Amino acid sequence: MAGKRDCPSCASEIPSDMDRCFICGYEFAGKPSNRPWRLWVALLLLIVFLFPLIRMLLKAIR
């Protein structure tokens, strides 16, 4: 069920599953529906993608 709520900052309609307004960047506080594991998955992916790049850079320096 995708609900909508009004952003208190810019009064735009934001999907209720979003933690942040994509118009003005307002963060909805006090909502326990956010999933912290997504942050770690994103961080892990970032490291996995950056690691070969860093190795290449280190090789270039040497």
- Phi–psi pair at 5, nearest 5 degrees: -140, 155
Question: Footprint of Zn ion on this chain (CB under 5 A)?
Answer: 7, 9-10, 12, 21, 23-24, 26
Q: Between residues 22 and 40, which has the closer beta carbon with respect to Zn ion?
A: 22
Least distance in Å: CB of 42 to Zn ion? 23
Q: Which residues contact 33 (CB under 8 A, 6 or more apart)?
A: 17, 19
Q: Between residues 23 and 45, which has the closer beta carbon with respect to Zn ion?
A: 23
Label residues 21-31 b or e (16+ Cβ within 10 Å = b).
Answer: beeeebebeee
Least distance in Å: CB of 35 to Zn ion? 21
Least distance in Å: CB of 39 to Zn ion? 22
